[in-house]
A = this chain, B = another copy of it.
Amino acid sequence: MPTEDTWKLNKSEVPELKEGEVLIQNHFISLDPAMRGWMNETRSYIPPIPLGDVMRAGSIGTVIQSKNPKYKEGTVLTGWGGVQQYIVTNGEGYYPVDTSLAPMPMYIGTLGMPGMTAYFGILEVGKIKEGDTVLVSGAAGAVGSVVGQIAKIKGCRVIGIAGGPEKCKYLTEELGFDGAIDYKNENIHAGIKQHCPKGIDVYFDNVGGEILDAALARLRMHARIVICGAISQYNNTTEIKGPSNYLSLLVNRATMQGMVVMDYAKNYREAAMQMGLWMMSGKLKSKEDIYDGIENFYPTFQRLFTGEKKGKLILKVIE
């Protein structure tokens, strides 16, 4: 687990813009479990963050100076702005969003990376169909909550796994999940057996560890497991716990597949439109848990791993 000393808050002058550059004033940054992975010096789906660099983060902000004809002052851009209040960029990797349709934080949450991850993960990798029993871990989180709601929209029976009675209540009473298992206070094996009596068709995994093993033990034939993350293992100081029940894949002719949202970039727009429509019709709910002040990055980041958050974790960094 990173400590407070892992990051330092630095101040520096905003540089002069060169031709083609814009200056963005950052409003909000997204805090995601994946951040922890980017801090490991291992081959992964994106390069690790070099020591001394700005911490990587999804962001949304307003162009306040522009020498780029594509983006006028006032344009709202989202991209990988990092944990900082101002960004100078040529705009590559950023795209403009319409804040009259949805509030800014939503563009880095349900309409941003976490929402996209949920959308493509459960539809393209999980390949859900009507009547499937879908189990989601990290179900009250930014990704899991959208996974479950999309599965409900598609006619699945949806069970969520989350920590604590409050989050479980949120899943069943506010998000329409068919059931919830409180892994902090219930036996996970018994919970899965009770809520998925016929077994699991699709398991969407955000956590890894024992919960992944418990899900493997209850697969139905031709089940699909979507490997999206493994938050229970990210701060391990020992070897990662591999799923000892993986031979259930053989017995049940099941598939375990990893996914990274960036592979679906060319279809983000279509997905955002679909999710926007679901949100407007009340079928898809979005909840953001917003904290204030760039100086509070560390305590807010900690909430990712302690579970002390209610919805998508976002930090307001505007000066």
Contact = CB atoms under 8 A, between A and B. Distances in A.
Contacts of A249: 227, 256-258
Interface residues of A, number: 33
A242 B240 CA distance: 10
DSSP majority for the A interface? loop
B247 A228 contact: no
Q: Which of A228, A241, A255, A256 has the most CB of B within 10 A?
A: A256
A84 to B, nearest CB: 27
Given A240-B244, A243-B242, A251 B257 contact: no
Number of copies: 2
Interface string A243-272: 111111111111111111001000000000
A239 interface: yes
A213 interface: yes
B247 A230 contact: yes
Contact of A243 (B243, B252, B257): B243
A245 B240 contact: yes
B253 A256 contact: no
Nearest to A233: B247
Given A256-B256, A257-B256, A242 B250 contact: no
A230 B250 CA distance: 10
A247 B240 contact: yes
A44 interface: yes
19 contacts: A43-B251, A44-B251, A45-B250, A208-B247, A227-B247, A227-B249, A228-B250, A229-B250, A230-B247, A239-B244, A240-B244, A242-B243, A246-B256, A249-B258, A251-B258, A253-B263, A255-B256, A255-B257, A255-B258
Interface of A: 43-45, 208, 213, 227-230, 233, 239-260, 263
Given A241-B242, A250-B258, A255-B258, 13 more contacts: A213-B242, A228-B250, A230-B250, A233-B247, A239-B244, A242-B242, A242-B243, A249-B256, A249-B258, A250-B259, A253-B258, A253-B263, A255-B255
